[in-house]
Every structure is written in structure tokens, then in C-alpha cells.
Structure 1
Amino acid sequence: MPKNNFIPMHFKIKKGLIFFFLMIGLQGIAQESTIQNLADDAYISKLVDTAMKNYPRMRSYQNRINIAGSNITKAKVSWLDAVTVSYIYQPGTTTIDPVNPSTSYFKGLQAGVFLNIGTLLAKPYQVRQAKQELLIARNDLDEYRITITTEIKKRYYLYIQRVAELKLQISTMHDTESALKDLKHKFEKGEETFDSYNKVQIQYSEHQQTKVQAEANVFIAKADLEELLGTKLENVK
């Protein structure tokens, strides 16, 4: 009679649960490792601070704020533009017109003060406008701070990804290289066919090309990040 291959149901369930929790544990370890590599908040903060100090556009926004602040002061003191002081100097003494005795001509220094009401009334609006321009300049700077922070994070995460891909390609190439050496030794001893040896050679060559591309991706990602930093990545410590 054939042997009974029946496996108790409770044993299958236990086996399935063990496999399930094992996979969950491995997945959790992998995710934790990835998060630890990427979510280095202190280092990212240093990158953002470096970009805000060095990136030219940040300085341009700050210059706009300085100009807007100066315009407020300029608008406040420009109320003097509404006042005009003039004088006329005629040497001699006061004379009376003999034809019209009620008309006299003053000789000497004559001064007058003129007030432009329209210009004076416009000053409060100019001050208010200058203050609004300062507020807009500050809002633009705050908005760009958010933008550059997000962009730094994106480029940093991409750089970390490219480095991880390069490490994976190097590891794969080394494994293939070891397998190629072992297969070459066996092929020379006649224990492996040329077809098997040739396939591994092709794989090794492909891995080399992939490694070169991965290295280029790392350099490109690093250059994109350093574009915002305004300095070498190695200088941020």
C-alpha cells in the first residue's frame, strides 16, 4: 500500500504562519534600513542651510527685501516733496507806483512756501504700497525656502538611490566575476561546456557596462545636488 502523505491541517497552518511572520520581519528590517539611510534629518538640514547660504537666488530674494525696506523709508520721508520753498531777491527799497498809489513794489528778499495738496495726500498710499511690496518680497522668500528645501530632499534621495544602485551593481559584478573564474577553471579541466562558459562571460560583460552606467548616474545625481548647495557635497559635514 502507498504511504500516507497526509499532513495535519494544524501543522500546515503553523508552517504558513511562521513563513508569514518571517517575511513580515524581513520586510520590516529592509524598510527600517532604507528609512535610516534616507531620513537623516540632521544631515538634510545641513544641506538645506548650505543651499540657503550659497545659492545665488536666495541672495537675490534677500536683496529684494532690503530694497523694499528702503522704499518704505524713502516713502515716509518723501512728504517733503509736497513742500516747495522759493524766494526772489530784488535790491533796493520799497517804491510806490505814482500812477496807482495803492500799488507798491517791495525791494529786497521775498520768500514763499508752496504746498502741493495732491502730492501730500498721495504719500500715505505710497507708504502703504511700499509696505505691501516688502510683504510680497518676504512671502516670495518664504515660498522659495519651501521650494529649495523640497528640491534638496528630492535630489539627495535620488543621489542615495543612485549610490545604492551602484553598490548593487558592483556586488553583482563581483559575484559574476567569481562565477566566471570558477567556470573558467572547470572549462579548462573539461568539466564545463564552452557554451556555459561563454554565457557567463557575456553576463560579466553586461554587468560591467551596467556598472559604468551606474557610476555615471551617481556623478550626475551628485552634480545636480551640488548645483543647489553651491559647494562640494564633501564640504557639508
Structure 2
Amino acid sequence: MRTYCLTTTLLLCLLSFIPARSQESLVGDIDRDLLTKYIALARQNFPRVKSFHAREEKARSMVTTAQMSWFDMFNAGYYYRPETSTGSGTTTGGGVTPNGQLITSGFLFGATINLGSLLSKPSLVKAAKADYKAAVADNAEYDIMLANDVRSRYYDYLAARKQLVIRNLSAQNLKGIANDAQAKYEKGSIPLDVYTISKNAATEAAAQALGAEVTYLKAKDALEDLIGAKLETVK
């Protein structure tokens, strides 16, 4: 009985040791140059980036439109009355309408200024410039947020990849232990409880490996969606 307990204890220690032995730091897996390429691709391909750039360009054009609208307050025109012919010859100069209004012949020029428009233009131009500055600031802020999002998803991807390696290694090792325990159990070398523990551990490790694979695929897809390219194509 003492031998069985000792065997069980050693097996449990071995099972808990396998995953821990495979743990490694992620820092060594980080490729800064590759991460920089991912950020550049996200800035180039992510649809919302184009939306922010379009808003900035629109705000810039509104500043130009507001500045050019200074000319809208001025109105100029002319009136032309040609010389009239009468039976006795050509009449130049002016004339009188039936209502007694004096009419001159030739060109008349005039200009008007809209005082209300004149007073409102400075504030309109100032508002357009403020909107442009806000659009530029929003664009810069989103650029920082996008870069941080790429970094976060890249680190999640590395962690998921590392975890997948660990889980696969653990599943392989525990499968080997379970197979060995089965052979020993069939020979009567170990009791049923030890064999059951090893078998259950192998089954659990296989399930964890499958879950780690799903997590890895999701992390990979999330990063690829952000940068707009497959990771295999980025070197």
C-alpha cells in the first residue's frame, strides 16, 4: 500500500511539473521590426484610419472655403442703356420715363457690401480653423490608439502561440505517460487509481491543447483583421 501511495505521489508531481517546465518568457519572442511593420500596415489598411483622414481633409477644405467666402459680401453690377434712335436722328444722354424717372444711356456701374456678412466672416473663418485643428488632433489621437491596439493584439498573439506550444507538449508527454501507465496496469505493476489518474490527466491535457489552439487562431485572426494582411505575408 505504501508503494502505491508513493507511486501516486510521484505521478502527481510529474503531472504538475510538465507544464511548468515548459514555461518561457515572451520577451524573447517579440520582434520589434516586425511589430513596426504591423503598425504601418494597420495605418495603411484599417478602414477607420481612412475615415479620420477624410474628416481631416474635409476640415482643411472648409477652412479654404471660409477664407474665400470673404468675396461673397461684395456685389457688383452694371446697367447698360444703349442710345435710342428717333425719327430725327440718334439721341444720346438720357431720357425720362412716363413716370418721370430719369434714365441715362450707356453703362452704369455699382457695388454693394453686405455689412452682416462682413461682421460674421471672422468668426466663421475662426470656427473653420478650430474644426480643422480638432480633426488633426482626433487623427493623431486615433493613430496612437491604433498603434497601441496593434501592440496589444500582437502580444496576445505571441502569448496564445506560446501557450499552444506548452499545451501541445504537455498533451504529448501526458499521453506517453498514460500509455506507459496502461501497459503497467495491464501487467499488474500499478494499481487502478494510478492508471486512472494518468488517463484522466492525458484527456484533460488534450482538451486544454484544443482550447489553446482555438485561442491561438482567434488571436491570429484579430491581429490580421487589424493590419489588413495575413501574418505569413509580412516578413
Which TM-score bucket, shorter chain as reference?
0.7 to 0.9
Residues paired across the two proteins, number: 204
Mapped to 1, the partners of 2:32 and 2:160 lie a distance apart of: 19
CA distance in 2, matches of 1:152, 1:70: 31
Corresponding position of 1:186: 184
* 1:71–1:130 Cα contact (<8 Å) kept: yes
Match of 2:26 in 1: 34
**Which of 1 and 2 has higher RCO (CA within 8 Å, sep 6+)?**
2
> Is 1:111 matched with 2:109?
yes
- For structure 2, the 5+ residue unaligned runs are 1-22, 85-91
What amino acid does structure 2 have at the position aligned with 1:55? F
Find the counterpart in structure 1 of residue 38 from structure 2.
47
TM-score by length of 2: 0.78
Relative to 1, partners in 2 of residues 1:84 and 1:181: Cα closer, same or farther, differing over 3 Å?
Answer: same
Note if contact 1:50-1:236 (Cα within 8 Å) is conserved in structure 2.
Answer: no
Per the TM alignment, residue 61 of structure 1 is displaced from its structure 2 partner at its CA by 0.9
Q: Partner residue of 1:95? A: 95
Select which of 34, 58, 68 maps to 1:67: 58
Q: CA deviation at 1:108?
A: 4.7
Question: So what's the TM-score if we normalise by structure 1?
Answer: 0.77
Structure 1: distance between partners of 2:49 and 2:98: 76
Structure 1 vs Structure 2 CA RMSD: 2.3
State percent identity of aligned pairs: 31
Aligned equivalents of 1:99 and 1:180: distance in 2?
A: 118
Residue-by-residue CA offset, 1:202-227 (whole Å, 9 max, x unaligned): 11111111111111111111122222
Any idea what SS the aligned residue of 1:114 has? Answer: strand
Q: What do residues 114-153 of structure 1 show as CA deviations (whole Å, max 9, x unaligned)?
A: 1112212332332222222111111001101111111111
**2:19 — aligned with what?**
none
Verify the 8 A CA contact 2:35 2:151 in the aligned structure 1.
yes
**Change in CA separation of 1:117 and 1:199 when aligned onto 2, cut-off 3 Å:** same
Q: Alignment partner of 2:111: what SS? A: strand
